[in-house]
Amino acid sequence: MIYTVTFNPAIDYVIRTDDVKLGSVNRAASEELYFGGKGINVSAVLAELGVKSKALGFIAGFTGEAIEQGVKDMGIEADFVKLHEGSSRINIKLKAAEETEINGQGPHIEKKALDKLFSKLEELRDGDTLILAGSIPSSLPPDIYEKILSSLSGKDIRFVVDATSDLLLNVLKYRPFLIKPNNHELGELFGVEIVTDDDTISYAVKLQTMGARNVLVSMAGKGALLLDEKGKLHRCGACIGELKNSVGAGDSMLAGFIAGFSDGDYSYALKLGTACGGATAFSDGLAKRSLIDELMKQL
């Protein structure tokens, strides 16, 4: 079973308008609601590919209830910890001449609730996959990723981590199966600017020597690069299409890779991940199977 963890899920309220004038009433031309957060995004694209997963995390209030129902409507098994106070966040995505985002803060997560999450994680068994993705709320300890991997380190679980800075660096000693920085995040990890492919490869190798088994680096219009645990380098070009959406493309790539790796084929996993990332980037919401299949033919 694949498990995803979303510490701070959200309702994304997307508003489209021709222009925004501060200090006056603005009318929306259209609006949409999406239920997400990085882990939920991964689960949603996995479901689109016919792969089952269970979504874990925290929800609160009426917005949390809506997120839980929305996740279930996407065909995802949900097992969230319900908080007694606060509300799950609403993120406003304002799409006008320029794109503006206002992200909510989210509820406070108490130690009792965190203990409940750890109890749920104890149910993971050998052969399961655990995906930790994204930043964490300020109410959680900064080493929460490390604590989770440490608590499960005695089991044969595939750890997948999509995070930045110390959240990522501190878990490398647990030899995660896969990490997925983009080229900018890769440079930030080492305080350098990534300019060439050789730079990307060099620092991907460094992450491997620090413990990561497989390093997947997304490079926007330059495609993606995978350094697998056998030391082999795989490359995949970018898909061609009209960019509509920057939210969830990385999560979609991660989902596609995990789904594609079910048969142990790294090259196919990279290809499917790239197609899924492109399908989200070229859509108003997350990737749909029809577009994923279409983009696979490009690669």
Token code pair at residue 228? 């697998």
251, 263, 265, 293: which is the annotated catalytic residue?
251
Q: In the annotation, is 197 catalytic?
A: no
Question: What residues are labeled active site?
Answer: 251
